């Protein structure tokens, strides 16, 4: 069996008529946070061939995604003028599993199924959480970079305190994350 994989930004998935088609196209949270959700879902579908599965993972609400809630809470505690990210239209636009299923059907997917999964994500320290945010969330990284050195240090200290409170005194903590996982099959299509 020959298995290959490719990762790409969504814009790179806008393949032309002679472009490759894949057996599986998956977005892990990124497409769900984009401003033009309909276009980005169509790009994802366009990258896969007829009969293939398309999968989309999206965050549930901010309160159900503790790593982000902790990050936003620490920023808010340190920077009084910090405004949490808007909950609409982008950041949590697919937090409702019914809406995720509807959006997948809108782009022509069939056999649509959505399930909600709760996972425990272990962070060894406040610094580990901050590194995860800056690696995976460009907006979160920008907000952290906008802080003074003192504020950034204070954010880490606040997170450290939150972790110690959660874990009974240790540096790390296991935080809960609720994710909606949707998938659908591409019916016959022309490329």
Dist. CA 5–CA 24, nearest whole Å: 9
Tokens (6 digits) for 140: 């979160």
Q: What is the pLDDT of residues 70-109, one digit of tens each?
A: 998 998 899 877 665 554 446 678 889 999 999 999 999 9
Which pLDDT belongs to residue 62?
A: 81
pLDDT over 80 (residue 169): yes
Listed residue (29, 28, 56) closest to 42, CA to CA: 56
pLDDT over 60 (residue 10): no
Dist. CA 46–CA 68, nearest whole Å: 31
> What residue has token string 């994350």?
177
**H or E element at residue 49:** strand 48-59
Domains present along the chain, CATH in parentheses? 23-186 (3.40.50.150)
C-alpha distances (whole Å) from 39 to each of 60, 70, 103 are 21, 31, 11
């Amino acid at each position: 069996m020959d298995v290959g994989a490719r990762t790409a930004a969504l814009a790179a998935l806008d393949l032309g008529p002679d472009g490759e088609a894949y057996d599986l196209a998956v977005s892990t949270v990124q497409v769900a946070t984009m401003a033009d959700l309909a276009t980005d879902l169509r790009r994802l579908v366009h990258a896969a061939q007829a009969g293939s599965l398309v999968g989309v993972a999206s965050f549930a609400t901010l309160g159900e995604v503790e790593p982000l809630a902790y990050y936003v809470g620490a920023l808010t505690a340190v920077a009084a003028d910090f405004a949490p990210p808007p909950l609409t239209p982008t950041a949590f636009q697919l937090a409702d599993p019914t809406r995720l299923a509807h959006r997948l059907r809108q782009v022509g997917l069939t056999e649509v199924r959505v399930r909600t999964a709760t996972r425990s994500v272990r962070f060894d320290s406040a610094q580990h959480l901050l590194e995860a945010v800056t690696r995976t969330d460009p907006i979160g990284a920008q907000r952290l970079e906008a802080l003074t050195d003192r504020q950034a240090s204070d954010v880490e200290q606040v997170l450290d305190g939150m972790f110690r409170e959660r874990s009974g005194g240790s540096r790390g903590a296991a935080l809960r994350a609720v994710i909606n996982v949707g998938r659908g099959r591409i019916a016959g299509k022309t490329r």
